Amino acid sequence: MDIRAILMGLAFSLMWSSAFTSARIIVADASPLAALTLRYLISGLLGVAIARALGQSWHLTPAQWRATVVFGVLQNGVYLGLNFVAMQTVQASVAAIIASTMPLLVAMALWIVLGERLRPLGIAGLAAGILGVGLIMGARITTGVDPFGLALCCIGVIALTIATLSVRGATSGGNFLMIVGLQMLVGCLVLALATAIFETPHVTPSWRLLAAFSYTTLIPGLAATFVWFWLVNRIGATRAATFHFLNPFLGVATAALLLSEPLGGQDILGVVIITLGILAVQVSRQQKA
């Protein structure tokens, strides 16, 4: 893995992890589904426009179209839609920790459901991840975390896991930025429908909201997604996924720093255990690859 890939991987983890903090700020002053719909409309149109300017085509392969639709619906629509709704009552750090378990859930599904062999190191990593989540959730539940919001986050990460499993190897062939932009627009359509059914849009304008919305739209929304596809194309999905081990720590640290969310000793221990568990799973899969 070259230094450029390492730096891009670190940048991806920081951008991805910070999205929960900026989302928490947004939903405090705006209806979540409507805000996310607007975010995807802007970032999707920007992504497509930039891709066309770079000479990329929207004439995708069948596999790329499948990846675009599946990711647009499950990742952008279901996963992020549910997380935005949940973060009206759930802390950003909790949402970040649950979402960070996606690599563990993918490995577990490949092992249990699809029969992929998992090395002892990977099994130990899964066990550590479950232990870490249990420690953190045990501490949060005793302090009154909203069970409905927690359930939405869990459903969301399952949707993200299914999306990841469904499109393995389906994004090769170039046009990465075009794929990212079209995925955003697919998510926009799904969320626009959800907004019309479930929500009465409202907004309380503020500079804080504008800053968080702009950051979320351009950095985690567009830049991080493009960087992820760049990484997968450059070093492969298994090696790229190794950077997910940083997400629990960065997600919790960002929320504590910018939102002053409480961070106890049990939380820190749980984050460390989850981080090591994700790293063990990814190293195990990389050794196999």
Q: Which residues touch 176 (CB under 8 Å, ≥6 apart)?
A: 56, 226, 229, 230, 233
Residue 261, CA distances (Å) to 62, 96, 256 in order: 44, 13, 5
Residue type at position 259: L
The C-alpha atoms of residue 93 and residue 87 are separated, in whole angstroms, by 10
What is residue 89's predicted lDDT score, i.e. its pLDDT? 92
Q: How many Cα neighbours within 13 Å face the side chain of 167?
A: 27
The C-alpha atoms of residue 192 and residue 180 are separated, in whole angstroms, by 18
The residue assigned the tokens 């930025």 is 177
Q: Which residues touch 34 (CB under 8 Å, ≥6 apart)?
A: 195, 199, 201, 203
- The answer to whether the beta carbons of residues 187 and 76 sit under 8 Å apart is yes
What is residue 285's predicted lDDT score, i.e. its pLDDT? 67
The residue assigned the tokens 């300017």 is 53
What is residue 85's predicted lDDT score, i.e. its pLDDT? 95
Q: How many Cα neighbours within 13 Å face the side chain of 54?
A: 13
What is residue 286's predicted lDDT score, i.e. its pLDDT? 66
H/E/C letters for each residue in the chain? CCHHHHHHHHHHHHHHHHHHHHHHHHHHHECHHHHHHHHHHHHHHHHHHHHHHCCCCCCCCHHHHHHHHHHHHHHHHHHHHHHHHHCCCCCHHHHHHHHHCHHHHHHHHHHHCCCCCCCHHHHHHHHHHHHHHHHHHHHHHHCCCCHHHHHHHHHHHHHHHHHHHHCCCCCCCCCHHHHHHHHHHHHHHHHHHHHHHHCCCCECCCHHHHHHHHHHHHHHHHHHHHHHHHHHHHHCHHHHHHHHHHHHHHHHHHHHHHHCCCCCHHHHHHHHHHHHHHHHHHHHHHHHC
The C-alpha atoms of residue 199 and residue 34 are separated, in whole angstroms, by 8
The C-alpha atoms of residue 167 and residue 179 are separated, in whole angstroms, by 13
What is residue 250's predicted lDDT score, i.e. its pLDDT? 85
What is residue 152's predicted lDDT score, i.e. its pLDDT? 95
Q: What is the pTM of this model?
A: 0.86
- From first to last of its 289 residues, what are the pLDDT tens digits of the chain? 568 888 888 898 899 889 999 999 999 999 999 999 999 999 999 989 988 998 888 888 888 888 889 989 999 999 999 999 999 999 898 898 888 888 888 888 878 877 777 788 888 888 888 888 888 777 777 677 888 999 999 999 999 888 877 766 555 566 778 888 899 999 999 999 999 999 999 999 999 999 999 999 989 888 887 787 778 777 766 667 777 777 888 888 899 899 988 877 877 888 888 888 877 877 776 665 5
Q: Which residues make beta-bridge pairs with 30?
A: 203
Q: Which residues touch 113 (CB under 8 Å, ≥6 apart)?
A: none
Total residues belonging to the chain: 289
